[in-house]
Structures are given as structure tokens and as C-alpha cells.
Amino acid sequence: MPNQSEKPTVPGWLYKLFTGHQYPYVRRQAKFANRDVKPGEERPEPTAEAIKEKFWEIFPRCSVKILEEVKAGMIVSFTELGSYEPGTYQELVERPEEFLARTYGKKKIKVNFYDGENFVCTINFKVAGWTGHDDNGTS
């Protein structure tokens, strides 16, 4: 595990997204990393320190997909706008609204984080004053 000085800056919103109860990937990895449990025994919940350690193991290897929400009638679909390899999206992490607005414009955007092929978590942004889906010019 890298020491504290080698770790990138991670805002509170991102740490909470990865380690909170809404998306259990990091918590489950920490829970099942405990090898001291006998077969058939209930695994204890991981400690805050175990979760933090697992976060710093997983986050640096996560890639990101940027998706735009597209609504057609009652159907919502997502179009991929871009993807970023691990370690290449620090500006997105530090200033998500500014980065997304400048890079992708006024849209409703979903940002997905993946550990290899495994989905980790997602967060939605209404970027650059987005207020609703365009209705193709009709009122």
C-alpha cells in the first residue's frame, strides 16, 4: 500500500461514494479480506481502517466511464461519452462539475467507476445548469 504522501487528493464525496452503504463493493472486499473466519462463521463488519485500506487498494486501479442520460418517451438509456483509465481523471475527481461542463457541455451525466470489469459505484451530475431533457424544440 502506498504511503500517505504518494496518494492523490480524494475529496470527501468520492470517499463516501466508494465506502458508503449505497455501493457495497469496497466494504464487501474489506469484509471478505478477513481470513480469520472459520467456515460457517458469520463474518464481522469491517473496521473503518480496513475499509480505508481496501479503498486505497481499489481506487487507484479504477477506470471511469462517462455516460449521458438520454430520454425518449418513457425510456431512459445511456450513451457513452468517454472513458478514462486509472490515474487519468484527477481533475474530474477534484472539480467534477467544472470538468464535465467544459468537456461534455450541458447534460445529465452519469459517472461510473469500475475495478477491472467489476462495477464499483456511480454518481449523477446535472451539468452546466441542466434543468430537463430537451423536448426536440416542441413546447
- Amino acid 15: pLDDT: 96
Give the predicted TM-score (pTM) of the model: 0.83
**112-139 mean pLDDT:** 76
pLDDT, one tens digit per residue, over 87-124 is: 999 999 999 999 999 999 988 999 999 999 999 999 99
Q: Give residue 130's pLDDT band: very low, low, confident or very high (50, 70, 90).
A: low
Ordered DSSP codes for 33-94: H---PPTTSPPPPPPHHHHHHHHHHHGGGEEEEEEEEEEETTEEEEEEEEEE-TTS-HHHHH
- Amino acid 83: pLDDT: 97
**What are phi and psi for residue 65, nearest 5 degrees?**
-120, 135
The answer to whether 89 and 114 are in contact (CB under 8 A) is no
Please state, in angstroms and as integers, the Cα–Cα distance from residue 97 to each residue in 58, 69, 128, following that order.
24, 16, 7
- Measure the CA dihedral 29/30/35/36, to 10°: -150
pLDDT, one tens digit per residue, over 18-67 is: 999 999 999 999 998 877 777 777 888 899 999 999 999 999 999 999 99
Domain ranges of the chain: 10-126
Grid coordinates of 109? 451525466
Q: Regarding predicted confidence, which is higher, 2 or 73? A: 73
- Amino acid 7: pLDDT: 72
* Sign of torsion over alpha carbons 64, 22, 118, 15: positive
- Amino acid 1: pLDDT: 45
Please state, in angstroms and as integers, the Cα–Cα distance from residue 5 to each residue in 1, 2, 8, 136, following that order.
12, 8, 8, 50
Bridging pattern class, strands 75-84 and 62-72? antiparallel
